[in-house]
Structure 1
């Protein structure tokens, strides 16, 4: 800061306050400008502060000597710096001269090389053009070779593939199926070639490939037929080659169906022979099979015989279906897809005879149909044998058991195959025939028993023919219980059976009651209905018939109650009294009318009282004895007690009337002044309480 002040003082000394010289007045004084610059400088300026700090470090004082020395030092430093710069620029100039020489040499070399290259280019231009053309031609040839190779691989069968596909001497192996697959692929690819303007190539390739493909399918068709001749479906390990061949052959539905027909025919003969062997123990050629136990010798009765034959047929059908499932369905829906593709290729098969589109191939339905065809030969023999058994049978229960057995297997085969299969239809026909035989035998049995319908048992129990019918019905119901009839249809389906084996016998019992007197007719009919109801209530499919029998029992029970009630009235001697007093009420006018009744006069009332006293000690036992032939003791007791209750109620009415009469007579005597009056209670002393005790 002192330096700055000194500088300012020096600036003031350098600028005396005298009149300005002419030169300085005309322009700006350099010294004044410097001083102004120094004075205008701000101490906050960093450079200014650093300059002042530098001066302070040097210990410079603002004197004239110092300022001159400082100016000289600064000038010297500037001159030294300029000299150093000139030395450096001299070095740079020297390097530039060297670079210029090097560039000149490079230009000379470049020109020389350029001239040589131009000469060489002029001499090789023709060869390069020829090489370029050759390279282009080579690329075209290579592209054509690649295209030809791809075309041959995609559209042309090799000689080995053609031989494997068409020659019968070549085996049907993986190479055959690969060639066949390639031929099918070529046929599909030819459709692309036919899309171009020039269709010659596509037509030629397609014609040649179609010929090879047809030969291949024919070869496969013949091979499959040979394999099917020796195919053993009982072998659990069926070769995969035949399954693969069938999947491929399915693309030609006609050939595939021919193979199925051939297989069905072969299997029909095999199963027919097996069934014959199972029946007799020897083949049709007379060869005895010791491992087979003949059904005809093992079956002890007709039902066992038919059951064994049906069981064999079911076992054979199940085995056949399982084997064919392995052969046709184990690989999913490949065969269905193949047949669908074949139908799409065979345009004439798209429309059926009736003009409707052909249905989609159902592998399960086709399998069921094939199994049914395989079983057709055995089914014919089975039908003949069962028809013979049905026609020669003379037993009603056996006939129904045969029908039920046939119904069971018909339902089983319906689930195994289908409802429309010939085997199911055959069993359905046999079932109907067995039911016809059952109805015929049942009606013949009823006709033979018409004479027994006229003889009523002396003890009023159910007749023997009715008990035999119930025993027969029980066996039939037990058989029907094991059938596969749905629960909601069981009662409806069994009603025709009841109409044949039960209703005629019940009607015979009803007709027998027409010639009987009451209560014997009611007792006899109740006994019959009770026996029938006890048999029918064991099963739910006879509920409606059992309910009808219960209604009939209740009706006859009411008649027995009425008969017992009549017995109590007649034997007690109170019938006339109850009949005369019954419609009367406790009205005073009605009571006055009773005084003139004959039954209330002293002799009649005394006689009735004595008869009642004689009746009461054994009344209940006599009433029960009347119903001794009723086979239900509980029902006997209920009927007797109900009749006794009605009798007691009527007796209470008589007692009330007698008490009213006595009261009326006593009141009248008091009014007339009479002292002694004979009361009816004295003549008829029994009370309703005593009656109830004696009849309870």
Structure 2
């Protein structure tokens, strides 16, 4: 529409410019300039401006046609419309003004009512003010009273216990049951929470509650202490239900270390009496209540002294194991509960803590000490009976067997009770007493045997007293091997036995051998030594003594080998030749002098060869005949064989010298063409190979 508007607008202007009735040229130029300026102004306007665009849209909406009448009337129409709109607005505002007047009248009426109401309210406030203040004060007092009541109820429920609970806690007529422990736990908590009360400004209440709870706790512990003591007197260690209640009571009582220790002392004393009566009943068959037992008493059943002592020790061991197991359930099954309770008690009672004490309570150590104290009476009675058995018998073997048996049980009790147990002192004393009795009996036996020593047996066999000693030694070694050796690897204990039971008799044999000539002296010594070696060989704990015996046997064997070697050398005639060759060296000049020696002259050498030939067929038999009283045939063969070997080596030496001398002499004769000299080999024809065959 804007385009058509400008087109229609431009057309009349152009027509006016070309019309004949146009003004004069001056006026025309001014009109043309005005038009040009107008056109320029219109064309220079920005049609993108919002106001122009809105105006054009308004014209377009009104449906205005671009005509000359319309353009002339447009302003008037617009102004007319504006005047009409203003008139309507004025009319509407008049109505609004009338409404505002009515509203002002209503507001004035409301303000008057409000003023009247304010007056009435102020009068009412003046009349009800004191009542409200009094009511507010009463409400505050009520609230404070309710708060105090709640605090009092909370205090009574937390810091006070009822009379029934006090009776349960302190009365000895009431049992020690779950209610007792619950009440005690609650009173302990009250006692602990009193610290909160002591931290307030008014400490009187806290002190009173603290004092009351302390009295109640002390009374409860006294009741628990007396109840445990009564239970200990009739305690059945096999009843697990009873043990559970006693265990809990002990765990609680441990918070009072003094009372706990007193209970342990009372328990140990009661158990000591019970176990002593039981041991006496097991020995004699009668209890302190004069009741006969079903089992046969040890004193009537064990006729052998060793079995009697063994039965007593076995009873003590069995009782110790049972006692330890029962007390372990009683004191150790709860883990470290007792230790923690004692620690808590020492923290609350620091004056009970010893200076430098680090470990408060060791359950295992305390258990071992308690079991040891329980067995004190049994150990005392066991020591009396065992010492009576040891001192009433003169048998050294029996005394040593008893010592070994006690040593075995001693090592067993060390594992059960620990190394610091007082019961072990009894076992050590009994073992020492038995060993003293053993040594005394052995010295008496040796003294009696030494008076009967005369001469060695004709067959050079071990004397009877040595055989008897070896038989006793086997018995003692077997006893030692079955008792101590599997437990203790230390073999020093058997050296004492050897020193007491073997060395004196070996010395006696040595004294008997001093009166014999060679080789009987060595044969007798070897027979005795081999008998001792045979007796000790099965036992590893005698290895040191066996090593000493081997050395001594080797010395005597070497002496017999030397004797046999001398016999073979001089009986065969070879000794004369060896003595003659003792000064001969391996030089040619020295070897040439061999035929000039007396032993190597033809007649003497032929005689030596004949003597050797006569000796060789029966040489080994004759040599073995010298050792026929040596009981170990293996040693006889070894000695004879070694002597024969040395004989063969010496024969080879003589043979080598003879052959060397013949070689030198024959070479000289060949050079001098002289064959008058007889070869030494022809006079002494035996070879070392033949000798070895004949002596093999």
> How far is 1:691 from its partner?
0.9
2:224 is aligned to: 220
Deviation at 1:427, TM superposition (A): 1.3
> C-alpha separation between the residues in 2 aligned to 1:84 and 1:629?
172
Give the Cα–Cα distance (whole angstroms) in 1 for the partners of residues 420 and 211 of structure 2: 44
Q: Supply the RMSD in Å over aligned alpha carbons.
A: 4.0
How many residue pairs were aligned? 688
User: Residue 240 in 1 paired to residue 241 in 2?
Assistant: no
- 2: CA distance, partners of 1:100 / 1:531: 152
Tell me the CA shift for residue 379 of structure 1.
Answer: 1.9
Report the Cα distance in structure 2 between the residues aligned to 1:111 and 1:276, rounded to whole angstroms: 116
Cross-structure match for 2:162: 158
Q: Following superposition of structure 1 onto structure 2, how do residues 387-536 of structure 1 map, counting pairs within 5 Å? A: 387-451=387-451, 453-483=453-483, 489-536=489-536
1:334 aligns with 2:323: no
Alignment map for 1:652-671 (pairs within 5 Å)? 652-670=652-670
Aligned to 2:148: 144
**Gaps spanning 5+ residues in structure 2: where?**
18-22
1:612-645 Cα distance to aligned partner (Å, 9 max, x none) = 0001111122223333333443333332222222
1:228-270 per-residue CA deviation (whole Å, 9 max, x = no partner) reads 2222223333253333332333333333333222222222222
Q: Identify the match of residue 172 of structure 2 among 153, 168, 173.
A: 168
CA offsets 1:73-95 (integer angstroms, 9 cap, x no match): 87888789889988988898898
Relative to structure 1, the CA distance from residue 34 to residue 567 in structure 2 (aligned partners, 3 Å threshold; closer, same or farther) is: farther
User: Which residue number in structure 2 is paired with residue 311 of structure 1?
Assistant: 314
Q: Secondary structure at the match of 1:449?
A: helix
> 1:307–1:405: 8 Å Cα contact kept in structure 2?
yes
Task: Specify the alignment match of 1:543 in structure 2.
Answer: 543
**Equivalent residue for 1:674?**
674
What secondary structure, in the 3-state scheme, does the structure 1 residue paired with 2:674 have? coil
Q: Which residue of 1 aligns with 2:20?
A: none
Structure-2 separation of matches of 1:488 and 1:284: 40
Q: Does the CA contact (< 8 Å) of 1:461 and 1:631 recur in 2?
A: yes
Whether 1:585 and 2:559 are equivalent positions in the alignment is no
Cα-to-partner distance string for 1:570-596 (whole Å, 9 max, x where unaligned): 110111111221342221221233333
Match of 1:283 among 263, 284, 287: 287
> Take 1:106 and 1:527, find their aligned partners in 2: how far apart are those partners?
153
**1:252 aligned residue (244, 256, 260):** 256
Contact kept? 1:15, 1:32, Cα under 8 Å: no
Offset at 1:308? 1.8
What SS does structure 2 have at the residue aligned with 1:460? coil
Of the structure 1 ranges 327-336 and 98-107, higher mean CA displacement relative to structure 2 is found in: 98-107
User: Which residue number corresponds to residue 325 of structure 1?
Assistant: 328
Structure 2 counterpart SS, 1:238: helix
Per-residue CA deviation, residues 264-316 of structure 1 (Å, 9 max, x unaligned), is 222222212211222233323432122x2322233252222222221211221
Q: How many Å separate the matches in 2 of 1:48 and 1:630?
A: 158
- Aligned-pair CA distance for 1:324: 2.1
Counterparts of 1:225 and 1:684 in 2: how far apart (Å)?
A: 108
Which secondary structure does the structure 2 equivalent of 1:675 belong to?
coil
Q: CA deviation at 1:545?
A: 1.6
Question: Aligned to 1:473, what secondary structure does the other structure show?
Answer: helix
Contact 2:237-2:243 within 8 A present in 1 as well: no
Q: For 1:283 and 1:38, how far apart are their aligned partners in 2? A: 147
Verify the 8 A CA contact 1:452 1:465 in the aligned structure 2: no
Task: Flag the 1:69–1:477 CA change in 2: closer, same or farther, 3 A.
Answer: farther
- Within a 5 Å distance, the mapping from 1:571-582 to structure 2 comes to 571-582=571-582
> What is the alpha-carbon distance in structure 2 between the residues aligned to residue 181 and residue 163 of structure 1?
15
Q: Provide the rounded CA distance (Å) in 2 between the counterparts of 1:691 and 1:658.
A: 16
Cα 1:90–1:576 change in 2 (3 A) is farther
Per-residue deviation, residues 83-134 of structure 1 (Å, max 9, x unmatched): 9988988898898788778767766665565454444333322122112212
1:490-521 Cα deviation digits (max 9, x unpaired): 22333222222333333333333222222232
